Amino acid sequence: MGREDSHYRPEGVDGRGSGGSTSGRVPVPGAHPSDRSAPPGPGAGQPPSGPVPPAWPGDPRNTGRFPDVNPPGRPAAGSARVPSGPPPAAGSARVPPPSWDAPGTGPGQVHRAGQGHVYGAAPVSPSAGPVFPAAGSVPVSPPPAGAGPLAPPPPAPRRRRRLLPVAVLATVLLLVLAGVAVVLRPGPVAGWLGDDAAGPAAAAQVPEPDPSPVLAGPDANAPLPTAAGVRAAVEPLLGAAALGSRVNISVADLTTGQSIYARGGDDGTVPASVTKLATGVTVLEARGPGYRIPTRAVAGANPGEVVLVGGGDPTLAVDGKGFYPGAARLDTLAKQVKQALGGTAPTKVVVDSSLFPGPVHGPGWDDDIPTGGYGASITALMTDGARSDPEAARKTFDDTHGAAERVPRPDLTAGRSFARLLGLGGDAQVTPGTAPPAGGAAATGAPAPGTELGKVESLPMIRLVDIMISDSDNVIAEALARQVALARNQPASFVGGAAAMDEVIGELGLPAGEISLSDGSGLSRNNRISPSLLTDLIALAGKGDHPELGAIFGGLPVGAWSGTLGDRYRVDATEAGAGVVRAKTGTLTGVHAIAGLVTTAEGRLLTFAVLTDRAPAGDSDVSRQALDRIAGALAGCGCR
């Protein structure tokens, strides 16, 4: 799951990717020359495999939202690539519409800043939050509930940037104290995987930090860096030996979408786990932030038979000891089934995971991924991300970087757990199958075949995306890619998910010719994304045209503070990025990537992406630090 940053292979990457089969889809411009031949057609039963072309003006896919979308091709540096529109006033909060309200989440359950769990048992109401960034700003996550006192900033800091993590935390508290009517979702922080959310009393014990001058946040009116300034800051760092022979980069302004600097910006590059940004944006667009994935139980063909129907929720738990706190639970579903059956005793469990057809392992995955602890067999029914021991995996998460043993047949494992909860015992018959259609004749006193006996639902999509991005959860990513496929009437498979994600990218007015995917997690070496598409994607999510897309920012790790960046930006060479770099990372052997947001020394919020897929095999920490130097250089300069 977690960090593919810790998943290494001895072989390098030749620029095309290695291992697995080809995706059967058109590579983006700039990929390996031999990839530019005409693509093979889709196999029998597979959806059309070519990427969706970018939307032109007048194309019905624009749906009137982006009438000024440019045709395919790269605008010159200094022009905006992202569909434009008047940004909201600086400092204004964009609140999702009431339709995002989660079932069963009332005003009394809404958490204020610092209260509650990042994805614990008492969720924040999506209708009341999150607060998305105004133009030129970035969402801020509060500290974990019950955190110890925050030390006041030193009187004479050696560098201003070292104090910005404190500034971020203090800003959140100041917003609440000032009476600003906003609700903030707790952000992803290491150690928030505990069983229970902290209560209001614990949060109230956090003292108010000193409102010092370092609280100044990103400024939409701050000076815009110049191409020459950015070039001078980053180009000396792009030649680092640890990054290899091909380093592609794009830097753009978040407020305007204006491209500032690019080198190889249009070139398709292996993105590794940075792919999850595309997965998050497309599933939020396709399903919406409030969507919950159902898991159902229906009556089988014979009295006493119960069919457990997987809907694709990878976080489903057996009971209260599951890996993902707040997840839907099979013990809850079992209680519903027993009540619905009345006097009919359960006799058999049939497992229906037919919603996800096709291979369970992705094309282009390294051979050891299915057994290496970071991937799993992707089935429509599973519990705890297919972990064999979810309770132990939670305890060792930090030490193993999220790696955990996975079961070979997640659907049957879930079925056996469900059978035990129904009281069938360890030798109960559990078989794969499909649910019968509803409306059949019923035996006396028994529910008719196909009758729904119970249903539980996942956490809201907004929070699944948070977990996927903050923890780099590969299994969740693959499940969410299939949700995009289902929403676009594609097969919920690796091929269907990739095709549907391409389709949504085109619907958003972004250049779909610059992305070619084989999976949703980034484990596939066949994936290609251009750095410029990534900066476009992030800039679009930060604008007001699609407020639902701003949910991707809540899970972005923060330099020297949270997620996969929690232990980075802590040395002199990169410390300028501490607290002001918020980005998704990606690593495979020979592949290193980072994409996200950075605030310059003068307060301008930029989006950036740096990808390299020909790095030398060796110490990946050195390669990651080379990327961090680039982001730190953007943070430490006004670049004018």
In angstroms, rounded to a whole number, what is the distance separating the alpha carbons of residues 21 and 471? Answer: 27
395 in catalytic set: no
Residue 617 makes CB contacts below 8 A (sequence gap 6+) with 10, 11, 12, 589, 590
Helices 620-635 and 227-238, axial angle in degrees (round to 10): 160
Q: What is the DSSP string of 347-407?
A: -EEEEE-TTS-S-SS-TT--TTTTTSSS-----SB-SGGGBS-HHHHHHTHHHHTT---B-
348 in catalytic set: no
State residue 387 phi and psi, 5-degree precision: -70, 140
In angstroms, rounded to a whole number, what is the distance separating the alpha carbons of residues 208 and 499? Answer: 49
Pairing of strands 294-299, 430-432: unpaired
In angstroms, rounded to a whole number, what is the distance separating the alpha carbons of residues 32 and 29? Answer: 9
Pairing of strands 348-352, 430-432: parallel
From the list 276, 348, 543, 584, the catalytic residue is: 276
Grouping H, G, I as helix, E, B as strand and the rest as coil, residue 317 is strand
472 in catalytic set: yes
In angstroms, rounded to a whole number, what is the distance separating the alpha carbons of residues 250 and 472? Answer: 22
Query: In which element (H, E) is residue 500 found?
Result: helix 494-507
Reference 465, options 67, 107, 4, 130; nearest CA is: 130
From the list 23, 125, 472, 493, the catalytic residue is: 472
Q: Order of strands across the sheet with 605-612?
A: 259-263, 247-253, 605-612, 591-599, 581-588
Q: What is the DSSP string of 156-208?
A: S-SSGGGGHHHHHHHHHHHHHHTT-----PPPP-TT--SSS---HHHHHTSPP
Q: Is the peptide bond before 86 cis (omega within 30 degrees of 0)?
A: no
Grouping H, G, I as helix, E, B as strand and the rest as coil, residue 532 is helix
CA distances from 385 to 23, 111, 314, 365, 411 (A): 25, 27, 5, 18, 11
Active site residues per annotation: 273, 276, 472
